[in-house]
């Protein structure tokens, strides 16, 4: 069993993960469970973050919704699948945020310049406002400069994931 704290009122460090390209293989607009493939070491990394008493959050741009490729329900199904898979390994994600908006969306309701769309920090700021996070010990792991810019704007450290194993990457960066 993991040693996850049951008291969520105590400030704890958080690891914010971008999704596509960090937790799963990024093959373009992933919204079907059959297309999901975990990055090597991702499940182990999340489990170890849980054991180290980090909050674990997902912050992901999902412009495929606004582009009409898939729905918000499809994103929620993938996120539930992730939780189910993680649970089988004694791990979990504490919370998810996603941004369906894009300035060139084909669906009108999603065609806005949104403060949640990275590089804007809105998703991170919303999580920070709703969870007792120790910002000085928190980090965002992303695979694009836009992820790192969102982290900077939110006042946390950003790590650029350019590896093939997330567990080894976080261990080298001294977060595991």
> Among residues 7, 20, 40, 84, which one is catalytic?
20
Does any domain span residue 4? Answer: no
CATH number (domain holding residue 159): 3.40.50.1000
d(CA 118, CA 46): 22
Does any domain span residue 7? Answer: no
Q: pLDDT of 31-82, one tens digit each? A: 999 999 999 999 999 999 999 999 999 999 999 999 999 999 999 999 999 9
Does any domain span residue 3? Answer: no
pLDDT-derived band at 7 (thresholds 50, 70, 90) equals: low
Does any domain span residue 2? Answer: no
> Among residues 18, 94, 143, 147, which one is catalytic?
18
Asked whether the predicted pLDDT for residue 6 surpasses 90, the reply is no
Q: Is 53 a catalytic residue?
A: no
Which letter, b or e, does each residue of 117-128 get, where b requires 16 or more Cβ atoms within 10 Å of its Cβ? bbbbbbbbbbbb
pLDDT confidence of residue 10: 84
Q: Is 20 a catalytic residue?
A: yes
Q: pLDDT of 119-169, one tens digit each? A: 999 999 999 999 999 999 999 999 999 999 999 999 999 999 999 999 999
Whole-prediction pTM value? 0.93
d(CA 91, CA 49): 9
Domain around 102 = 14-172
Number of domains in the chain: 1
Does any domain span residue 42? Answer: yes
Asked whether the predicted pLDDT for residue 3 surpasses 80, the reply is no
Strand extents, DSSP E, 44-176:
55-61, 95-99, 139-142, 157-160
Residue 131 DSSP SS3? coil
């Amino acid at each position: 069993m993991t040693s996850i704290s049951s008291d969520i009122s105590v400030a704890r460090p958080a690891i914010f993960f971008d999704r596509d390209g960090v937790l799963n293989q990024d093959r373009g607009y992933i919204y079907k469970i059959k297309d999901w493939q975990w990055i090597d070491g991702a499940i182990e990394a999340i489990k170890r973050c849980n054991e180290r008493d980090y909050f674990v959050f997902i912050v992901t741009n999902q412009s495929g919704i606004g582009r009409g490729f898939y729905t918000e329900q499809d994103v929620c199904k993938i996120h539930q699948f992730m939780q189910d898979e993680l649970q089988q390994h004694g791990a979990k994600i504490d919370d998810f945020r996603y941004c369906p908006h894009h300035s060139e969306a084909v669906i009108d309701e999603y065609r806005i310049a949104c403060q949640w769309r990275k590089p804007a920090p809105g998703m991170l700021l919303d999580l920070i406002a709703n969870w007792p996070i120790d910002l000085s010990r928190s980090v965002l792991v992303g695979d694009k400069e836009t992820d790192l810019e969102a982290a900077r704007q939110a006042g946390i450290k950003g790590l650029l994931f350019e590896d093939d194993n997330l567990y080894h990457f976080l261990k080298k960066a001294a977060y595991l």
